[in-house]
Amino acid sequence: MTRLPFLSFLLMATLAVLKSSAALELCSSDQDCIVANGYGSCCAPRVSFFSPVPQCKPATEGGEVCFLESNNLPYPMKRPSPFFICPCASGLVCRRVGHPVLGRCGPQAK
């Protein structure tokens, strides 16, 4: 009889995950997101390592945190981004601000 509450909990948890996943724009490449949301959006994991399911996200805007390595990635990519945030928006680059991995989106140097 102790299995019934556990199975009920497991079923409810599974349904909650499925419901939250249905609300996301799941993707397999940047092209999926461009079609759905326009140029600049990208396909990236929901949150770091805890939720590797890729979803469409907007481009990172000026002043927002970015990954320096994103400057070296092609756009659009044919697979989900390795980072949980998109590259900087058009006309911006990820600029170093004292951290070895992270930066902030800013204007390209002329």
- Residue 20 is assigned to a structural domain of this protein: no
pLDDT, average across residues 44-68: 88
Choose among 72, 73, 66: nearest CA to 96: 66
Is the pTM value of this prediction over 0.75?
Answer: no
How many whole angstroms separate alpha carbon 44 and alpha carbon 42? Answer: 6
Predicted local confidence at residue 9, as pLDDT: 45
CATH code, domain with 93: 2.10.80.10
Predicted local confidence at residue 10, as pLDDT: 43
| Triad 31, 36, 42: Cα angle to 5° | 50
- Full domain range(s) for residue 29: 25-107
Domains held by the chain: number: 1
- Residue 13 is assigned to a structural domain of this protein: no
Q: Is the pLDDT of residue 53 over 80?
A: yes
Predicted local confidence at residue 92, as pLDDT: 96
28: amino acid identity, one letter: S
pLDDT, average across residues 32-36: 96
